[in-house]
């Protein structure tokens, strides 16, 4: 009888059969062919005919191979190399790695999904973690940065506001405390640098010599300040930052000894501070604090003694307040000690922590993805592992092989994560608001590489090895015999999958809700009614101060003449001037000068709670130029001059707070700082509320008085000009500047637009929205991956059921409903968990929300809607495919 084995063998060539199994198949099929051949001969076929007919049993073109391909036995990995005695030899490890690499390549959709999930979530996490570490937690660039603290003064008038400390109090604290190694004072002010090169505004710190000593900083070039530099009337001196020195002097050593024109005054350069030193704020230059300045209130810095912590210093300051306020009417004043690092990062901390929390959600979502994929693969691998064990592989072999797979995934995922992190950090730097503290210190670092690789390795090992160990523990015999029980394992996996996907969708919903809330906050913020028209409005800050009452009077006169001249410029619709800046936040020193004035209300009972309101001194056309509507009575006119009766215009908030009416015309009040003799002001008009400090600050009770009627305390108060233009205000900047300089050549001016001032309040929320939105999109994308895997797996598990349903007449729609319904059921649970988590989280992040409650229904509904939509869109195609079989095909449940 003819041997047909050689006819069969080529048809199996493309398969990865175990050699023993291959021999069996060859034998079995050859036997069949031999029987068939004999049968053909028996019914009278010629030898050639019988040969031809028999060969026809296996069609050419690889049909047999194609049909065997889907079988597990045809995808067997080559037998494990047995490396006895040298189990951990490099050669054996290399073999394992090659082997694992091949196996991952073969299962490339799985590999790609895991690597992409790892790269995205670990990369994003690394980028934000590096940013948070650099911006919030990395020690400041000087010796003992944790010991330098701000000692903030607050008063009950404005508990959240930091007041400058009077020199007398500084002396008391210096003499009486037991907790500080030294104290110093500082203030910050922008100064105009002119002279060689383009003029620029420098961030200047006014510091005492003691303050610089707190930082234990020495000059890189020249010297630092001495006590002599603080003496009244001493030569003006300045210290440069490394950056300014390089920028303006090309890092030349002979810069020391030259003069720098600051606000039009020459300052002798005495030294350059080391690179990386820019404290107490972001500082370009330092000038000495003038001890002779009686108004020289300043912020207080101190260095904690070794062994003294912030709490103890706080307690000591509480005791010292008694000594400080002794005999002076300052009830309720309070000092708080805060590490400098915390003070510097306070403004951006909440934002970054929010992003960190968001990225942890993304990491969670990615980990769930990897778990789901690994579980599904583990299910496939279980038999594979058991067969290997049966074939004589040791447990160690299996673990090594799976660990090698984990290693590949970790390396690929980690490398991807590094790319993502690198891009992420660049993106964060580019997007972050420029005033983010320490932003210039943010860069990709070697630490980042370690964070990314370690996280990836940890993830891949955890997800690779745990199923491996679980798999290798299983009884070989049991699995082989119970080869019909993958269904049972599958059901268990389905349950685990369900729990994981609920977790994942909950996290995704959390991110979506966060984005919706933050995004709506931004929308509310940009839509906020400022109460005045910020369009086409040029702002000019006249920086010069000092010179006593004569200087102030001269400057005011020049400003009023400038206002007149500007009105005549082509393209100018109106112009005015006032004290107190608009929309500069709490940053500018003169923002505080409009602060609460104590009022006496005519006719109010003595002993009533003292009323407070902000004051602005304005030129007559202020309301008209800024577009602030007058609601009752009148605005100011040129007639409200020095000789005229004293008048005031109040905003609606003040009218309601003080007189509980919208029209308190004719009522009278006086304010504390007007002078020793009480002067009554008569209310002649009520204007609409405006948001003067920031769009986020609710309008405060405010009254306006004619500039000419109130010239007291003008010496230290810069004036602001507002110019309304008919087209782009920037075009008029030069013309406006030259008007000011023609009238007062020594006046440094800061020209900007109100649009820029408004925008600065949008930058941080916009950054938060954009980054959070990107993270939410990433989370959603990764959830799609997980949802797809889970739904596809569930459909695979339920194929038999689906087949029967189809056979029994179920329509395609019914199957689609079945599959999508299951996905929605899981999404529903995820939604419930996510909503609960979001409600809790939103409460914590309340400080970042503007005009949107943490339970904002529209945000919650929109986020949940997006999530459900995405789940349906993911599940629907799978469901359609499952329901798209015709009844006959469906009777072969695994035939898809």
Partner 1 sequence: MFDRELKKGSAELLLLSLLDAQPRHGYELATLIEQRSRGALVFHVDSLYPLLYRLEERGWIAGRWVEQAGERRRRFYRVTAEGRRALAHRRSAWTGFVEAVRLVLGDAHA
Q: For binding to partner 1 (CB under 8 A), which residues are involved?
A: 11, 24-25, 28-29, 31-33, 35-36, 39, 56-59, 63-64, 67-68, 70-73, 482-485, 800, 803-804, 807-809, 886-892, 894-895
SS (HEC) of 735-783: HHHHHHHHHCCCCCEEEEEHHHHHHHHHHHHHHHHHHHHHHHHHHHHHH
Nearer to partner 1, 66 or 839 (CB): 66
Q: What gap in Å lies between CA 683 and CA 650, rounded to an integer?
A: 7
Please identify, using beta-carbon distances, which residue of 46 and 485 lies nearer to partner 1: 485
Residue with Cβ nearer partner 1 (35 or 549): 35
DSSP letter for 134, please. Answer: I
Alpha carbons 436 and 429: distance in angstroms, whole number: 10
Angle 819-885-483 from CA coordinates, rounded to 5° = 75
Minimum CB–partner distance for residue 471 and partner 1 (Å) = 18
Cα–Cα distances in angstroms (integers) from residue 155 to residues 406, 549, 596, 785, in the given order:
60, 29, 12, 55
Closest contact distance (angstroms) between CB of 816 and partner 1 is 21
Whole-number minimum distance, CB 59 to partner 1, in Å? 6
Which is closer to partner 1, CB of 397 or CB of 799? 799
Least distance from partner 1 to the Cβ atom of residue 885, Å:
10
Of 152, 437, 449, 106, the C-alpha closest to 317 is 152
Complex with partner 1: residue 37 or 555, whichever CB lies closer: 37
Helix/strand/coil (H/E/C) assignment for every residue in 42-90: HCCCCHHHHHHHHHCCCCCCCHHHHHHCCCHHHECCCCCCCCCCCCCCH
If the CB atoms of residues 32 and 668 are measured against partner 1, the closer one turns out to be 32
| 516 Cβ neighbours under 8 A, 6+ residues apart | 856, 858, 859, 860, 862, 863
* Least distance to partner 1, CB of residue 72, Å: 6
Which whole-number Å values give the CA distances from 524 to 79, 201, 528, 842, 851, in the listed order? 65, 33, 6, 17, 7
Residue 633 φ then ψ, to 5°? 65, -135
Q: Are 400 and 95 in contact (CB under 8 A)?
A: no
Q: Least distance to partner 1 from the beta carbon of 891, Å? A: 4
Nearer to partner 1, 480 or 869 (CB): 480
- Specify the residue, 803 or 838, whose C-beta has the smaller distance to partner 1: 803
Three-state SS at 578: strand
Smallest separation (angstroms) from partner 1 to the CB of 790: 23
| Dist CA 124 CA 418 (whole Å) | 9
**Beta strand pairing call for 681-687 and 647-651:** parallel
Report the nearest approach of partner 1 to the CB of residue 509 (Å). Answer: 39
In 543-622, DSSP assigns E strands to: 572-579, 597-601, 611-618
Six-digit token pair at 543? 């920086």
Name which of 4 and 722 has its Cβ closer to partner 1: 4
Q: Which CB atom, from 60 or from 196, has the smaller least distance to partner 1?
A: 60
Distant-in-sequence, close-in-space partners of 169: CB < 8 Å, separation ≥ 6:
153, 324
> To 10 degrees, the CA torsion angle through 450, 452, 457, 458?
100
**d(C-alpha 817, C-alpha 811), whole Å:** 10
- Sign for the CA dihedral angle at 792, 797, 798, 801 comes to positive
70 or 332, CB closer to partner 1?
Answer: 70
Whole-angstrom distance, CA of residue 642 vs CA of residue 652 = 26
CB of 71 to partner 1, least distance (A): 5
**Least distance between partner 1 and beta carbon 78 (Å):** 19
Q: Please, what's the b/e burial string for 341-360 (b: 16 or more CB within 10 A of its CB; e: otherwise)?
A: bebbbeebebbbebbbbbbb
The answer to whether 422 touches 122, Cβ cutoff 8 Å, is no
- Nearest approach, Cβ of residue 53 and partner 1 (Å): 10
Q: Which is nearer to partner 1, 395 or 892 (CB)?
A: 892
User: Residue 510 CB, nearest distance to partner 1 (Å)?
Assistant: 42
Residue 486 CB, nearest approach to partner 1 (Å): 8
**What is the full DSSP assignment across 665-706?**
TT-EEEEGGG-SS---EEEEEEE-----S-TTSPPPPEEEEE
Of 265 and 804, nearer to partner 1 (C-beta) is 804
Q: Which is nearer to partner 1, 359 or 890 (CB)?
A: 890
Helices (H), 107-149: 108-132
Would strands 611-618 and 702-706 be described as parallel, antiparallel, or unpaired?
Answer: parallel
Query: Minimum distance from CB of 376 to partner 1 (Å)?
Result: 18
């Amino acid at each position: 009888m003819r041997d047909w084995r050689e006819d069969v063998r080529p048809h199996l060539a493309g398969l990865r059969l175990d050699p023993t199994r291959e021999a069996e198949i060859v034998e079995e099929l050859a036997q069949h062919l031999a029987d068939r051949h004999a049968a053909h001969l028996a019914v009278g076929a010629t030898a050639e005919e019988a040969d031809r007919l028999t060969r026809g049993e296996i069609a050419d073109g690889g049909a047999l191979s194609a049909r065997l391909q889907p079988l597990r036995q045809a995808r067997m990995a080559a037998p494990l190399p047995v490396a006895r005695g040298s189990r951990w030899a490099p050669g054996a490890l290399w073999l394992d790695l090659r082997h694992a690499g091949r196996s991952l390549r073969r299962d490339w959709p799985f590999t790609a999904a895991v690597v992409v999930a790892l790269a995205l979530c670990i990369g994003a996490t690394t980028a934000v973690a590096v940013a948070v570490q650099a911006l919030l937690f990395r020690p400041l660039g000087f010796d003992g940065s944790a010991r330098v603290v701000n000692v903030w003064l607050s008063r009950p008038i404005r508990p959240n506001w930091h007041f400058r400390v009077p020199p007398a109090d500084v002396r008391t604290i210096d003499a009486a405390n037991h907790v500080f190694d030294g104290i110093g004072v500082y203030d910050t002010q922008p100064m105009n640098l002119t002279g060689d090169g383009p003029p620029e505004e420098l961030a200047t710190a006014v510091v005492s010599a003691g303050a610089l000593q707190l930082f234990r900083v020495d000059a890189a070039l020249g010297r630092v300040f001495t006590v002599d530099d603080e003496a009244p009337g001493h030569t003006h001196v300045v210290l440069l930052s490394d950056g300014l020195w390089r920028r303006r002097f090309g890092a030349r050593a002979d810069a020391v000894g030259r003069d720098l024109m600051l606000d039009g005054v020459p300052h002798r350069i005495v030294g350059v501070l080391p690179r990386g030193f820019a404290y107490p704020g972001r500082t370009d230059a330092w000038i000495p604090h003038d001890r002779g300045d009686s108004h020289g209130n300043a912020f207080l810095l101190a260095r904690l003694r070794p062994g003294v912590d912030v709490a103890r210093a706080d307690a000591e300051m509480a005791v010292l307040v008694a000594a400080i306020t002794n005999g002076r009417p300052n009830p309720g004043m309070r000092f708080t000690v805060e590490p400098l690092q915390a003070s510097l990062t306070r403004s951006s901390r909440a934002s970054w922590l929010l992003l960190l929390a968001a990225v942890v959600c993304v990491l969670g979502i990615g980990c769930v993805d990897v778990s789901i994929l690994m579980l599904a693969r583990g299910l496939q691998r279980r038999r594979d592992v058991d067969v290997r064990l049966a074939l004589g592989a040791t447990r160690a072999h299996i673990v090594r092989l799976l660990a090698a797979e984990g290693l590949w995934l970790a390396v690929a995922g980690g490398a991807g994560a590094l790319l993502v992190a690198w891009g992420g950090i660049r993106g964060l730097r580019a997007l972050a608001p420029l005033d983010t503290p320490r932003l210039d210190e943010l860069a990709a670092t070697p630490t980042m590489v370690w964070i990314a690789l370690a996280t990836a390795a940890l993830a891949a090992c955890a997800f690779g090895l745990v199923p491996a160990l679980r798999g290798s523990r299983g009884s070989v015999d049991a699995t082989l015999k119970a080869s019909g029980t993958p269904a049972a394992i599958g059901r268990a996996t389905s349950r685990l999958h369900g729990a994981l996907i609920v977790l994942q969708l909950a996290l995704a919903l959390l991110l979506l809700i966060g984005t919706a809330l933050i995004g709506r906050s931004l929308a509310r913020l940009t839509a906020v009614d400022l109460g005045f028209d910020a369009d086409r409005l040029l702002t000019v800050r006249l920086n010069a101060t000092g010179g006593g009452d004569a200087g102030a009077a001269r400057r005011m006169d020049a400003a009023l003449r400038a206002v007149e001249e500007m009105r005549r410029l082509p393209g100018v619709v109106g112009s005015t001037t006032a004290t107190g800046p608009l929309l500069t936040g709490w940053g500018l020193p003169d923002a505080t000068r409009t602060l609460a004035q104590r009022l006496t209300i005519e006719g109010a009972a003595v002993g009533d709670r003292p009323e407070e309101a902000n004051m602005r001194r304005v030129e007559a056309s202020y309301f008209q130029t800024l577009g602030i509507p007058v609601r009752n009575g009148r605005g100011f006119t040129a007639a409200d001059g020095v000789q005229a009766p004293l008048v005031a215009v109040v905003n609606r908030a003040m009218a309601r707070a003080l007189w509980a009416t919208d029209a308190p015309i004719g009522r009278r009040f006086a304010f504390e700082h007007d002078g020793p003799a009480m002067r009554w002001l008569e209310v002649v008009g009520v204007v609409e509320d405006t948001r003067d400090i920031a769009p986020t600050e609710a309008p405060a009770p405010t009254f306006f008085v004619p500039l000419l009627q109130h010239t007291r305390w003008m010496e230290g108060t810069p004036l602001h000009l507002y110019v309304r233009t008919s087209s782009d205000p920037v075009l008029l900047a030069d013309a406006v500047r030259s008007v000011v300089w023609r009238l007062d050549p020594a006046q440094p001016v800061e020209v900007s637009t109100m649009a820029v001032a408004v925008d600065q309040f949008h930058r941080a929320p916009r950054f938060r929205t954009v980054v959070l939105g990107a993270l939410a999109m990433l989370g959603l994308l990764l959830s799609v991956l997980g949802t797809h895997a889970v739904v596809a797996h569930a459909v695979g598990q339920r194929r038999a059921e689906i087949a029967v349903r189809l056979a029994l007449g179920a329509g395609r729609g019914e199957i689609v409903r079945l599959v999508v319904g299951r996905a929605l059921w899981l999404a529903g649970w995820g939604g419930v968990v996510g909503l609960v988590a979001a409600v809790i989280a939103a409460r914590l992040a309340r400080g970042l929300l503007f005009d949107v409650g943490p339970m904002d229904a529209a945000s919650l509904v929109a986020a949940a809607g997006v999530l459900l939509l995405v789940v349906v869109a993911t599940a629907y195609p799978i469901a359609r495919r499952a329901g798209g079989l015709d009844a006959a095909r469906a009777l072969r449940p695994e035939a898809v």
